[in-house]
Amino acid sequence: MKVVKQHPNYTEQARVAIKWLSCEELVELWELSLEDQKCLLGNVSEIQLSKWTNDAILERPIYLNEEKMERLSILLKIYKQLKMIAPSGRIKEGVRCFCKPNNNKLFSGVSPKEFIIKNGNLESFYIVLRYLQQN
């Protein structure tokens, strides 16, 4: 069995990040199905995601590897960037752009969320973030 080393501060960050990803408001705004959440975290099992979510709710430590932490970190940056570029007083509308089809040639008509899920790699997260930062 491979032992995953984790930075001591990651347990608290992981707990907060998993709690954020599974919060009702974000799930609704980004139209996140359970399958979407599993894919965004790198195709984790439903059992694993459920365990992490329950542990987060119960304030238990969560141990994630660097790649999972990076995925969550970039998703949070995407969320914050969407809030920043949203029209004044319409933050929810701006944040919803993550799950709306995008006609930019980069996305070929799919939403940024679908682009990330379809590609599945970390680079796709960074592509979406850079795109949002340039707008």
Mind listing the pLDDT tens digit for each residue in 18-46?
Answer: 999 999 999 999 999 999 999 999 999 99
Domain borders along the chain are 10-133
Which of 108, 109, 112 minimizes the C-alpha distance to 94? 112
Give the pLDDT of residue 3: 46
Cα–Cα distance measured from residue 54 to residue 62, given in angstroms and rounded to the nearest whole number: 10
Quote the pTM value.
0.87
Q: Mean of the pLDDT values across residues 49-71?
A: 94
Helix residue spans in 1-135 (DSSP H): 10-21, 24-29, 34-40, 46-57, 66-85, 91-96, 112-119, 122-133
Q: Which long-range contacts (CB under 8 A, 24 or more apart) does 102-108 make?
A: 104/131, 106/131
Instruction: Say how many C-beta atoms besides its own lie within 10 A of residue 124's C-beta.
Output: 16
